[in-house]
Amino acid sequence: MFKKTYILFGIAILLQTIVFGQTSKDMLHIQGGSYIPLYGRDSVLVTVNDFFMDKLPVTNEQYVDFVKQYPKWQKSNVKRLFADEMYLRNWKNDTILNSTEHLKSPITYVSWFAASKYCECQGKRLPTVDEWEYVAMADEELADARVKKTYNEKILSWYEAPRTNTYEVGRNPENFWGIKDLHGLVWEWTSDFNSILITGESRKDVDKDTNLFCGSAAVGATDLMNYAAFMRYAFRGSITARYNIKNLGFRCVQDMPFE
């Protein structure tokens, strides 16, 4: 009896070290704070708590390991409800990529369901839009670089450059938090990606949806110059959870453990 408890305890400690050992290496601590996002809930301050974020987007290699461990998420086994026909389209078969793809490139052609499950299986979760945008508004020097002209220009130039999804992860410089590649490789899934359309009925809410079109787009935004953010929000508004897109990947985050 005593022995069993010790063993369990040992396993728990081991797990803890594995999980958080990994945390210190591949995940970085993001200190919470508050900011006004582009589509704030009526342009009010949004507060973000402390959390850990993956330094890099999830790679093809990591996803190969995942589907080997969880065959349910292999290309031929996945439920159509959770991922449409485009799921892992650039894979040769269930566990091998096409020869044109690189193992160190970010995983794309994954649905929101798949991305969520991946994070869940690592004891993590997808970031919220607020969390993602909070970290993504940093450049190399400032936690909030949105006022800088160069910040917006750099991001816009990526949005215009074709086929960046084939680059390997880690090619862009670390931002203020030490996080890489939030801009410059692929779009990333967020847990509540369709919440910009705000109310509970989200996508059904036509009035809010029109905010992304024509005239109302500009007057609805809190930061007129943040055109790059417009494009991200527009992108998120155009997708649904079972879509798999060539330029869309993800990374995971983790809450702070209770002290």
Residues that bind other proteins in the complex, under the rule CB under 8 A: 86, 149, 152-153, 156-157, 159-163, 187, 206, 209-210, 212-214, 217-218, 225, 227, 230-231, 233-235, 237-239, 243-247
> What are the CA-CA distances from residue 254 to residues 135, 187, 208, 242 (Å)?
14, 20, 30, 23
19 or 36: whose CB is closer to other proteins? Answer: 36
204: left (phi over 0), alpha (psi -120 to 50) or beta: alpha
58 or 186: whose CB is closer to other proteins? Answer: 186
5 or 100: whose CB is closer to other proteins? Answer: 100
The residues, ordered by sequence, that sit 6+ positions from 167 with a Cβ below 8 Å of its Cβ are 105, 184, 185
Q: How far is the CB of 246 from other proteins (least distance, A)?
A: 5
165 or 254: whose CB is closer to other proteins? Answer: 165
Q: How far is the CB of 89 from other proteins (least distance, A)?
A: 8
Q: How far is the CB of 197 from other proteins (least distance, A)?
A: 12
In terms of Cα–Cα distance, which of 135, 250, 234, 241 is closest to 192?
241
1 or 161: whose CB is closer to other proteins? Answer: 161
User: Coil, strand or helix: which one is 249?
Assistant: strand
Q: How far is the CB of 239 from other proteins (least distance, A)?
A: 5
152 or 254: whose CB is closer to other proteins? Answer: 152
User: Using CA atoms, how far apart are residues 18 and 16, in angstroms rounded to an integer?
Assistant: 5
Instruction: Specify the pairing of strand 33-35 against strand 51-54.
Output: unpaired
CB 175 within 8 A of CB 46: no
Q: How far is the CB of 17 from other proteins (least distance, A)?
A: 41
In terms of Cα–Cα distance, which of 232, 198, 190 is closest to 41?
198
Which pair of structure tokens corresponds to residue 254? 């983790």
Q: How far is the CB of 12 from other proteins (least distance, A)?
A: 43
Residue spans of alpha helices (H) in 37-145: 60-69, 112-121, 129-136
